[in-house]
Amino acid sequence: MEDTEDFVVDDDVFKEPMKKRRRSDRDQRFRAFPSVEQSALKEYEKLESRTRRVLSNTYQKLIQSVFLDDSIPNGVKYLINRLLALIEKPSLDPIYIGLFGSTGAGKSSLINAIIQQAMFLPVSGESICTSCIVQVSSGCCEQYEAKIHLLSDQEWKEELKNLTKLLHRTEEPDREEADMWDRDDAVEEAIWKLQMFYGNGAERKSYEELLRARPKGKIPTSRIITLKAEEAGELSVKLDPYIRTQRRDLDGESAETQIWPLIKHVEVTLPKSELIPEGVVLVDIPGTGDFNSKRDEMWKKTIDKCSVIWVISDIERVSGGRAHEDLLNESIKACQRGFCRDVALVVTKTDKLHLPEYLRERKVGNRAILSQREAVLERNEMIKLQRNRILKEKLKRKLPADSKVLEASDLVYTVSAQEYWQQALLTEEETEIPRLRGYIRKRLLDKKRRMVTKYVTEAFGLLLLTDSFNCTENPPNEYLHMSGLRRFVEEKIQLLEKAIDQCFAHIEQPLQEGVQNARTSYRRILGACLVRSRGNQGFHQTLKAVCLKNGVYASRTLARIDLNEAITQPIYDQIDPVFGGIFRAGMPTGSTLLPHIEAFKHSLLEKMMEIGVRNGWKYDSYKKSFLIQEISAILGGLEDYILRKKRRIYESLTTSVQNDLKPCYEEAAQISGKKACERMKDVLRRGVEQQVAEGMFERAQERMRHQFQLLKNGITEKVKGSIATMLTLASSQGDGLYKELADVKSEYKEMEKLHRSLQEVAENAVLRRGMQDFLLRMSPSKAVPPKA
């Protein structure tokens, strides 16, 4: 079982901890925040920095006390490794905010406005501009920097093989196939990639010939291209050819565009941004994925690692269309399978409005509209109300009723990047770019507060135990206390296992009903996937691409096709609300997993307090406090483990179906010649029919059950192993477990002060927020632009 132990005793205990961040660098991180928020962040940063210093001093003392020993007791190894792990723990895991939208939705324009760089990422209202995943963040670097990550040699060979298979056809196709060839988007894109990378005529060469061919562009051996510049505009010019979608009729490509087909993703770092705080990553995510397996896998993983997803939609497309609905559905799935906790709709280009048409369609009886600006503001407010209601209803159908995202006051933003720069119609505030920045800052501040609170508390627990090693006072009944606690833990773990079983049992009925629905609807769903409005014209090679990629085709211009997901959608329709309920946070219920673990933690804490009160555990208050802190740390770490496993469980249905259908996909992909498109469809229909008859959906059901069982086993093994180790360390009965260590009383006392100051810092932050809100209410409104 992977990841079954939280804390592993490492024999390499003399490792040097990482260097501390310089104070000047730390202060630069807060430039994006108003003064009130800066004060709160500086207090939390100071707490964290002082805690790291105390931990580092303690670590050095322990190392010196055991440096000459032939053997180090396990308890001391545990302490040293835990101290080192806390010292090297990242200050803050990045907050990924995914901007998820289709072609021309305005993702790049929005990022440019948020970072206050008008034309930094390529922008065009007519066609696809950003061609790959682009991550934008700020750091303490002095220059603007971009890293272009390329496909590895093996990854490119895999794509090359699929591209040449896609272009393979008989020497003399009939007229029907020739017509389809000319109009097929998948073929055009394949030809375009090969010509750009190898030159004209590459599309007529075999896979083996292209392997021997010399690429037009120079490929760095590191597969990473690093660009640096003093100014944003300078880096933008250098970066543009790498991330802008290249026109297919472009003559005389540059050296940069020649390796464009190899680009996997791009990371851009801004120096000391006053608008985007360090620790936040804005991710420009194309709406459909990619034909290359590695790029498509990265597309999925990028969506899943985002804790926030903004679905970006043009004001003229927000009221309908399949692309918009697909984006919303994919975002909601990210809440189910990934780390996403917040979804919002960001409507772009909201300055666009044809006033005579709007006034004609406007309902009679409303107040008079005197200007373009008034019309834009009224229309934007109506859009917010309408789309907020629609989005909330959609989320309610898929997520548990008490999901935090449903409580959000801001589910819809109406923004205008153009007006942010021009302010001809709207004020800066009315463009809502500042609201998005405020949201970003609030997310980071909240996460920093939680992280530092947890960090200081965990560090305090370790210092309690470290100091207790040198305590000579031991209660007479300590062994009885520990043995009684062990029995109690064993009983509670058994109850936890039963609670997990009961929790997972809630998905059984929806899962069975979903399987039944899938069995009755798969023919209709498959038929709809295999039919196009213009018949087979322009669909032949696209279908071949679908088969080459085991049922999934992602194009830069067409809607994403996923036969496996479509066939299993009736199952997901049934299980989604229950699945989301299992993994949500909240009050303990029969179907909720995390609160059961929280209840298990509290029962252990209460038991220790009870033992302490009943037996006068005053002499061993150090170890009691250590147990309380370590139980919180051990069980608190389970949430991340569960979230990592959640994706595998959720995707087990589609993965199972894809594996079962792989032989028929491979068979269909080999078909060429006359009537190839109809023959491929027949192979797919027969293959699906055969697999369904042989229990394909039932196997998918069993594989999901198996993944739930693996999660249960992982949870219980982690709890048993970690708590058993902790109880052994807290007991003085182990032979040679402890030894006299260096005196850390001064470090313990300083850590105790830091732990007490957490409450003071939190109270100061509340007072500052109240003062800030008061001043904002009392301040005069900003002037509005002249009426237009």
Looking at per-residue pLDDT, the higher value among 179 and 502 belongs to 502
Looking at per-residue pLDDT, the higher value among 67 and 505 belongs to 505
- Cβ atoms of residues 195 and 261 within 8 Å: no
From residue 512, give the alpha-carbon distance in Å to each of 127, 505, 570.
Answer: 45, 12, 11
- Cβ atoms of residues 667 and 164 within 8 Å: no
Give me the mean pLDDT over the 58-77 stretch: 79
Looking at per-residue pLDDT, the higher value among 24 and 631 belongs to 631
User: What pLDDT does residue 170 have?
Assistant: 38
Q: 3 pLDDT exceeds 90?
A: no
Strands 263-271 and 144-150: antiparallel
Give me the mean pLDDT over the 94-109 stretch: 89
User: What pLDDT does residue 9 have?
Assistant: 39
Q: Which token pair is 772? A: 């800030």
Q: What does the CA dihedral 742, 745, 750, 752 come to, rounded to 10 degrees?
A: 120
User: What pLDDT does residue 482 have?
Assistant: 63
Task: Give the span between the Cα atoms of 287 and 105, in whole angstroms.
Answer: 10
- Cβ atoms of residues 372 and 437 within 8 Å: no
- Cβ atoms of residues 784 and 429 within 8 Å: no
% of the chain beyond a pLDDT of 90: 37
Taking only the tens place, the pLDDT of each residue in 705-721 is 999 999 999 999 888 87
Q: Which token pair is 735? A: 């032979």
- What's the one-letter identity of residue 703? R
Give me the mean pLDDT over the 314-324 stretch: 78
Strands 280-286 and 95-101: parallel
For 129-238, list the strands marked E by DSSP: 133-139, 144-150, 224-229
pTM for this entry: 0.85
Backbone angles phi, psi at 142, to 5 degrees: -85, -25
User: What pLDDT does residue 1 have?
Assistant: 40
Q: 294 pLDDT exceeds 70?
A: yes
Q: Print burial letters for 33-66: b (CB count within 10 Å at least 16), e (below 16).
A: beebbbebbebbbbbbebbbebbbebbebbbebb
Q: 310 pLDDT exceeds 50?
A: yes
Q: 300 pLDDT exceeds 80?
A: yes
Give me the mean pLDDT over the 473-499 stretch: 72
Taking only the tens place, the pLDDT of each residue in 118-153 is 888 887 655 555 668 999 998 878 899 999 999 999
Q: What is the DSSP letter of 191?
A: H
- What's the one-letter identity of residue 87? I
Q: 237 pLDDT exceeds 50?
A: yes
Looking at per-residue pLDDT, the higher value among 137 and 464 belongs to 137
Task: Give the span between the Cα atoms of 589 and 577, in whole angstroms.
Answer: 14
Instruction: Tell me how far apart the terminal alpha carbons of the chain are, to the nearest angstrom.
Output: 66
Judged by average pLDDT, the poorest of 67-71, 201-205, 604-608 is 67-71
Name the pLDDT band for 734 (thresholds 50, 70, 90): very low
Give me the mean pLDDT over the 526-545 stretch: 77
Task: Provide the residue ranges of all domains of the chain, joining segments of one domain with +.
Answer: 107-151+224-448, 481-730
User: What pLDDT does residue 772 have?
Assistant: 60
User: What pLDDT does residue 626 have?
Assistant: 66
Taking only the tens place, the pLDDT of each residue in 256-271 is 677 888 988 999 999 8
Q: 114 pLDDT exceeds 90?
A: yes
For residue 760, the SS3 value is: helix
Give me the mean pLDDT over the 89-116 stretch: 89
Give me the mean pLDDT over the 439-451 stretch: 90
User: What pLDDT does residue 103 have?
Assistant: 76
Most confident of 121-125, 228-232, 758-762: 228-232
3-state per-residue secondary structure call for 472-534: CCCCCCHHHHHHHHHHHHHHHHHHHHHHHHHHHHCCHHHHHHHHHHHHHHHHHHHHHHCCCCC
Q: 628 pLDDT exceeds 50?
A: yes
User: What pLDDT does residue 207 have?
Assistant: 93
- What's the one-letter identity of residue 360? R
Name the pLDDT band for 434 (thresholds 50, 70, 90): very high
User: What pLDDT does residue 192 have?
Assistant: 87
User: What pLDDT does residue 7 have?
Assistant: 35
Q: What does the CA dihedral 78, 80, 85, 87 come to, rounded to 10 degrees?
A: 150
Instruction: Please give the CATH topology (third level) of the domain spanning 107-151+224-448.
Output: Rossmann fold (3.40.50)
Task: Give the span between the Cα atoms of 547 and 661, in whole angstroms.
Answer: 10
Q: Which residues pair with 534 in a beta bridge?
A: none
Name the pLDDT band for 464 (thresholds 50, 70, 90): confident
Residues near 308 by beta carbon (within 8 Å), at least 6 away in sequence: 95, 96, 97, 98, 340, 341, 342, 343, 344, 443
* Of the candidates 614, 600, 603, the residue with the CA atom closest to the CA atom of residue 480: 614
User: What pLDDT does residue 17 have?
Assistant: 55
User: What pLDDT does residue 176 have?
Assistant: 47
- What's the one-letter identity of residue 467? D
Report H helices in 369-475. 372-398, 417-422, 433-468
Give me the mean pLDDT over the 549-557 stretch: 83
Q: 511 pLDDT exceeds 80?
A: yes
User: What pLDDT does residue 10 have?
Assistant: 47
Name the pLDDT band for 312 (thresholds 50, 70, 90): very high
Judged by average pLDDT, the poorest of 240-254, 340-354, 549-563 is 240-254
User: What pLDDT does residue 54 have?
Assistant: 95
User: What pLDDT does residue 421 have?
Assistant: 95
Strands 224-229 and 144-150: antiparallel
Q: Which token pair is 625? A: 């406090």
Judged by average pLDDT, the poorest of 285-294, 371-380, 732-741 is 732-741
User: What pLDDT does residue 178 have?
Assistant: 46
User: What pLDDT does residue 698 have?
Assistant: 97
* Of the candidates 494, 515, 427, the residue with the CA atom closest to the CA atom of residue 716: 494
Residues near 311 by beta carbon (within 8 Å), at least 6 away in sequence: 100, 101, 324, 327, 328, 331, 343, 344, 345, 346
Task: Give the span between the Cα atoms of 102 and 330, in whole angstroms.
Answer: 12
Averaged pLDDT score across all residues of the chain: 81
Q: Which token pair is 372? A: 């373009």
User: What pLDDT does residue 633 have?
Assistant: 73
Show the CA angle centred on residue 93, arms to residues 88 and 97, nearest 5°.
165
For residue 787, the SS3 value is: coil
